[in-house]
Amino acid sequence: MKAFSRIVVLFLAVFLTGLSGGTKLISRDSQNRQGIIVGPDDTVSIVALDADEISKSWRVASSGELNLPMLGKIQAAGLTVDQLEQEVAKRMKRYYRDPQVTVFVSEFRSQPVSVVGAVDKPGTYQLQGAKTLFQALLLSGGPKPDAGSIVTLKRSSERGTIPYPGAKTEEDGEYQVLELDLKEVMQGQSEAASVPVQPYDVISVSDIKLPRLVHIAGEVNKPGAVELLSQDTVSLMQVLAVAGGLTRTASPGKTMIMHLNAQGVQTSLAFVDLKKVMKGQAKDLDLSAGDIIIVPSNSVMSYLQGASTAAITTGIYILGRF
């Protein structure tokens, strides 16, 4: 008889789930009971045999209390669903003989985790129980195909430490940060993938950082590009120097400098008398990422038509880094 009553309770739980409207309910059997902890503002559904006044969905107060008819206030936040179920059944014994109770979380609001950066669907998600870093990333649809190579886990120091080698505390002491190889995490079974995630953690997947390049093409001895690593600009004469200087057929008086934005669209074009700059008769120029220097030959116009495209589309030889 007791087993039959339990089956009836479970049936009512499923039935209650089916009646729910806008809120997606989670059935008791679909939850992994291990690790499911009730939190403030969560909604719990209680199904108690022959107790219609209790068999409803209840919102846990921000204080963590659950106020039930006849049973009074229960400090629900911090309890597992099994513990809450046992507490409800214990209090019901005052009024019912051998009460049959099922409790499950029907809406999570207390376990938010933010997944941002180069993921399919960045946003805030509810953990709905214990989750690993790999599982949390899957909540957002996983990394984009063009994602970078680093995933970062950030946790408030008030919520504890990140139990993994390499986790560092920021200088202000407010957060712990862990950087991991994204490929290793997405293997699913690695130690990095199994790092536990807590509510209010922030997970960030890096974007691919395109190199910041200044190109030089045309009548120079070593056409290519310089990469800006530690500074934002490089002078025209520095670029010319690493390019090995001008060729014998160069016509530097009408050197062209064009700029392409991050989308590859030309936004500016200017002509510079490079010969005067080399002699100190004109001011040297500061160049930034996206600038392209084209030194023409004596056949100026015919060369420029092809050189501007070649500077962008051909293989890039890195001449130096600044």
Model confidence pLDDT, tens digit, residues 263-274: 778 889 999 999
Contacts of 147 (CB under 8 A, 6+ apart): 117, 118, 119, 182, 205, 206, 207, 208
Per-residue confidence band for 33, with pLDDT thresholds at 50, 70 and 90: low
Tokens of 162: 């990140």
Q: What is the CATH number of domain 112-207?
A: 3.10.560.10
Rounded Cα distance, 147 and 150, in Å: 9
Phi-psi map region of 173: left, alpha, beta (phi>0 left; psi -120 to 50 alpha): left
- The chain-wide mean pLDDT, for the chain, equals 85
| Mean pLDDT calculated for residue range 215-241 | 92
The pLDDT value given to residue 262: 74
The token pair that represents 30 in the structure block: 């679909």
Residue 42 is classified by DSSP as -
Of 85, 66, 64, 62, nearest to 74 (Cα)? 66
Least confident of 31-40, 105-114, 281-290: 31-40
CB 289 within 8 Å of CB 212: yes
Residue 160 has pLDDT above 80, yes or no: yes
- Nearest of 9, 30, 58 to residue 129 by alpha carbon: 30
Q: What is the per-residue pLDDT across 187-225, written as a single tens digit (0 to 9) for each?
A: 999 999 999 999 999 999 998 877 889 999 989 999 999
Calculate what percentage of the chain has a pLDDT beyond 90.
67
Q: pTM for the complete prediction?
A: 0.59
As its CATH architecture, domain 2-107 has: 2-Layer Sandwich (3.30)
Domain spans in the chain, listed from the N-terminal domain onward: 2-107, 112-207, 213-321
Burial of 92: CB neighbours in 10 Å, binned 0-12, 13-18, 19+: buried
The reported pLDDT for the residue numbered 52 is 92
pLDDT of res. 34: 57
Residue 261: band (very low, low, confident or very high) from pLDDT cuts 50, 70, 90:
confident
Q: Which CATH class is domain 213-321?
A: alpha beta
> What DSSP element (H or E) covers 163?
none
Is it true that 112-207 and 213-321 share their CATH fold?
A: yes
